[in-house]
Structure 1
Amino acid sequence: MKHETVTNVRFCETDAAGHVNNTSYFIYLEEARGKFFQSILKDYQTFGRFIIASTHCDFVSQAYYNQELVISTWISKIGNKSFQFKHEIRVKDSDTLIAAAGAAIVYFNYNEQTSEPIPAEFRKLLEGQLVAS
């Protein structure tokens, strides 16, 4: 299932070229992942033991001040100790693709400073959100 988050581009997120600065996209993606987790987890702290191992963003088109952007977020792959998000950012009015992105998330034990297998209950929640490519 794809989860959608809508954000409005603020002036402070643009740069001297007049378009959204590349660093702002990672803020949009982080917000979308947070809202994704809020939508599937009753208690974020129960399963909130993960870290981002990698993230990337391919910039396809430009976004500008005051545009509404829709960030689609979904789980694309689930491994033993990690899972992957995919994202698309589109302009709400025109459906123009602005960016395609992804993130690899590792289930992590902060006390031991090591990765751990994804717990069965959390895996089940993730599997319910899996979108086949």
Structure 2
Amino acid sequence: MTHESEIRVRFCETDMAGHVNNTSYFIYLEEARGKFFRDIFPEHLNTVGRFILASTKCDYVSQAYFGQQLVIQSWITNIGNKSFRFNHNIRVKETGENIAEAEATIVHFNYEEQKSESISEELRAILETHLALN
């Protein structure tokens, strides 16, 4: 299942060329992942601060501009023992134009012990509801 988030491009996220600066996309992706966690994990699991970003990349397909409403689709493509991978697609809401494609590897992390830890069966079951093959 795909999770969707919407973002409106602010003027401060654009550069001298008039389009969204490449660094802004990583902020959009981070916000989409935060909304994903908030929306799919029950509060009793207390997942805030239990995941860290291990790797991310973004391929820019087209340009986005100030004022556009963007839709970020997020889904899980792989679940390992201690980590899982997101894929993301960013599109212009109005036209459906593909703007960027991205992925991110997230690690389940124990801050007290400063090491990764296995994903619990309960978390795994929830993540599996958003698992899709690319």
TM score, norm. by length of structure 2: 0.95
CA–CA distance in 2 between the matches of 1:132 and 1:92?
23
- CA gap of 1:47–1:126, structure 2 versus 1, over 3 A, is same
Instruction: Note if 1:19 corresponds to 2:14.
Output: no
SS in 2 for 1:111: coil
Q: Is the 8 A contact 1:38 1:44 kept in 2?
A: no
Structure 2, gaps ≥5 residues long: none
Residues 16-52 of structure 1 show CA distances to partners (whole Å, capped at 9, x for unaligned) of 0000001110111011001111111121762331110
Give the residue type in structure 2 aligned to 1:58: D
The aligned counterpart of 2:39 is 39
Instruction: Note if 1:50 corresponds to 2:51.
Output: yes
Give the residue type in structure 1 aligned to 2:82: K
> What's the CA shift for 1:113?
1.0
Identity %: 62
CA–CA distance in 1 between the matches of 2:129 and 2:18?
40
Structure 1, gaps ≥5 residues long: none
TM score, norm. by length of structure 1: 0.96
Misfit runs of 4+, over 3 Å = none
